[in-house]
Structure 1
Amino acid sequence: MKKNIAIIMGGYSSEYQISLKSGNVVYKSLDKDKYNVYRVHIFKDKWVFVDPYNREFPIDRNDFSVPLNDTKITFDCVFNAIHGSPGEDGFMQAYFKLIGMPQTSCDAYQAALTFNKRDCLSVLKPYGILTAESYYLNLGDTINETEITAKVGLPCFVKANKAGSSFGITKVYKTEDLKQAIDIAFKEDDEIIIESFLDGTEVSVGVITYKGKTKVLPITEIVSENDFFDYEAKYLGKSQEITPARLTKDQEAKVTTVAKKVYEVLKMKGYSRSEFIFKDGEPHLLEMNTVPGLTNESILPQQAAEAGLSMQELFDSAIEEALKNNT
């Protein structure tokens, strides 16, 4: 008997359009002989099932079902394709846990932790994970530019602490430009992380659970045409994403080991994609994404293809793992 799979997409953040693209790729790629697939849009003002004719039917949030005519559609598993809040910060994971619904991403605590760049890096440092030098600001704090530059140097990156797809991030070269960069970051979040610039090869490492085991996918090297791997570089073709990355055997072994360690230390499930920069030959962790992009152009599917996994196999494995974990 075919399983009913809800693909949740959209979300409450600036990333909602990218999420809709990811969700629709999953919708088209899943094996329709194996699954009944339903698109579910999650927005602040509505949670709706969207049928093939783009008609909308409200979700009953008591049990995440869809009253449809005289029937009630229930789901066996949820495929999480929401980038940003509430799909990548733990809220949807906690909701599904409460109602006993299997879902494909990590658990609520891991989602909340990794979505908070400052907290995630702080948890990993005692395990020997290298990171950039950092300085924290909360909305309303006194801004001391001299203190900031003394800690992280110039150039530096000013980032919204809880945002993705490079929203709210600026590379700053001069002390007098810090205030404007901080204002931009505060438009995305009320917490900021300011990090030292790491000058070296940037790589993205996908780590997933596949057939019950942690699997590190082929590594992608990021070569941005812009000043850094910003929104244009990620989504508008302003970068080269080279898979497999042009690394030495030593570099490849180091970053593979560190990425796997991060995944397992944090007790991750499902997909993850971690960003590293090599400094003095050692990989330094920038951040981890737990609902990475899943479009045809996205990095994780590129890596899966290099590993010999089709989109259908990649997505199917996530559902199988979620169903298995719920038994």
Structure 2
Amino acid sequence: MKDRLKVAVLSGGFSAEDYLSRRSGALILEHANRDKYLCSLFDWNAAGWVAESAPGEPDHIIQRHESILAAFATPKRFDIVVNTLHGEMECDGQLQGMFELAKQPYTGNGRASSIIGMNKILSKKIMREAGLLTPDWLALTAENLSENTDSIKAAADQFGFPLIVKAATGGSSNSILMADNEQQMFAAIKSLSDVYDEVYLEPFLDGLEYTVAVFGEPGDKPLTTLPVARIAYEGMLFDAAIKKADRYQVLVPCGLIESEQKELMRIAEQLHYCFRFNAFSRVDFRYAGGKPYLLEVNTHPGLGENSIVPLMLKAAGISWETVIDWLVENGLNRKMR
């Protein structure tokens, strides 16, 4: 057997989506080809410690590192880090920058595109500049909320109720609230602004939700775009409670006619280029008034067994062994920016 690549599978993290990350890490360990990869699990817990498991034995802890920096302090110890983390701190470019400074190859999008893609307000501005539909919004900073009461009320009059209050950063499933009246709106703004520096309001669009995933680094090779999927769930919002309990379905075929599906795929690929994503992305849409509105981009989609992208891959007939090979190859071949 030729030398296997030494792979560190990084999961856990500080965010409320750490459970999704651990599901993703478990799936990678289960499906990684053992003839090609020697995998160790690095579980980053909320206290900051990183527990390192023996290769091929995720329950056998061999070392506890005091920080994420300490865990990867030894240069070239691993050929690549498979990053399965989710959340603001884990996906907003900080971790990617750390790996790039250390010249440590890793999977997922690079630092610059992660910074931009994680900020939903910046993302909406890029969508608008590209001539694409996204709901109107009002951005608010935590420092000047008291000065913007009139603007908030004016936006509520324009958007109508119910409306959406979101954090500019953070996983949207955990940082999105719906308000049915003015009192709920101000309470939601206060709740999110206590945690996040910037929040925004946007109108609620009543319609079905669709998503498109794109793999690839823009360049000579064509992108791989998965079939359009519909995310079906009870209620009005695809929120954290629904996601955590797996109370949703990913439907392929999605029910749209062929021309509508091609348009969503074209838009997803356009955004992949606009954001300069160099690994993968997922773009969420909601149809309203017969038009597809962009909700947000996902810079680091979940890879757990019941996560959206794996279900889309399954529907497309793409094996997990193939995906892992592609992620590793993409991370190893990408230039450190």
Fold match by TM threshold 0.5: yes
Corresponding residue for residue 19 of structure 1: 21
Report how far residue 165 of structure 1 moved: 5.0
Report how far residue 292 of structure 1 moved: 0.9
Corresponding residue for residue 323 of structure 2: 314
Q: Is the 8 A contact 1:202 1:222 kept in 2?
A: yes
- Separation in 1, partners of 2:227, 2:52: 35
Partner residue of 1:150 out of 129, 142, 157: 157
Corresponding residue for residue 281 of structure 1: 290
Q: How does 1:223-242 map to 2 (within 5 A)?
A: 223-242=232-251
Corresponding residue for residue 86 of structure 1: 89
Aligned residues: 322
Corresponding residue for residue 195 of structure 1: 202
Corresponding residue for residue 303 of structure 1: 312
Render the CA deviation track for 1:202-221: whole Å, top value 9, x for unaligned. Answer: 10111111894311111110
- Separation in 1, partners of 2:88, 2:198: 15
Q: List alignment gaps of at least 5 residues for structure 1.
A: 67-71
Corresponding residue for residue 161 of structure 1: 168
| Aligned-partner SS, 1:87 | helix
Does 2:301 correspond to 1:292?
yes
Render the CA deviation track for 1:11-69: whole Å, top value 9, x for unaligned. Answer: 12111122112111111111111000111123452233223243151458378256xxx
Does 2:141 correspond to 1:134?
no
- Separation in 2, partners of 1:212, 1:24: 30
- Separation in 1, partners of 2:237, 2:60: 38
Corresponding residue for residue 206 of structure 1: 213
Corresponding residue for residue 261 of structure 1: 270
Please identify which structure carries the higher helix content. 2
- Separation in 2, partners of 1:255, 1:153: 27
Does 2:227 correspond to 1:218?
yes
Give the alignment's Cα RMSD to 1 decimal: 2.2
Report how far residue 161 of structure 1 moved: 1.6
- Separation in 2, partners of 1:301, 1:105: 15
Render the CA deviation track for 1:105-133: whole Å, top value 9, x for unaligned. Answer: 11111111111101111123111121001
The 1:193/1:254 distance shift into structure 2, 3 A limit, reads same
The 1:114/1:189 distance shift into structure 2, 3 A limit, reads same
Q: Is the 8 A contact 1:277 1:283 kept in 2?
A: yes
- Separation in 2, partners of 1:300, 1:175: 36
Render the CA deviation track for 1:248-307: whole Å, top value 9, x for unaligned. Answer: 112101111100000011110212111111233332111111211111111101111122
Partner residue of 1:77 out of 77, 80, 87: 80
Aligned letter for 1:288?
V
Aligned letter for 1:221?
R
Partner residue of 1:109 out of 103, 108, 112: 112
